[in-house]
Amino acid sequence: MVEPSYPESAHDYSSDAEEFERLEDSLGEAPRGALVVSAIAVGLLLVGWLGLYFLVFLPRGSVG
C-alpha cells in the first residue's frame, strides 16, 4: 500500500508555519479547478445559446 504523502492530521505538522504554508498552497491550487469547471459550464451555456440563436432562431425569419 502506498503511504499518503500528506500528514494524517494537522498535529503531524512540525510547526504552525508549515501548516500555514501547506494551507496556502492548497488554497492557491483550488481556484484552478473551479475555473476549469466554471469555464466548461459557461462555455457549454454560450455554445448552446449561440447554436439555438443562429441555427434555430435566425432561420425562422423576420417578425415584428
Partner 1 sequence: MAINEEAILKSELRWAMVVGGIVAVILIAILYAALAMHINPPSNREYVDPKTLHLSAEFTEANLGTRVDPNGQIVARVIATQFEFVPNCIVLPAERDVTLRFTSPDVIHGILISGTNVNTMIVPGYVAQVHSRFTKTGDLLMPCHEFCGLGHSQMLATVRVVPAEAFRPGPDGRIACGDRR
**Number of Cα atoms under 13 Å in the Cβ half of residue 37:** 5
**CB of 10 or CB of 50, closer to partner 1:** 50
Query: Which positions ≥6 away from 10 have C-beta within 8 Å?
Result: 19
What mask, x for binding partner 1 by CB under 8 A, covers residues 1 to 40? -----------------------x--xx--x---x--x--
CB 9 within 8 Å of CB 3: no
Residues within the interface to partner 1 (CB under 8 A): 24, 27-28, 31, 35, 38, 42, 46, 49-50, 53-54, 57-64
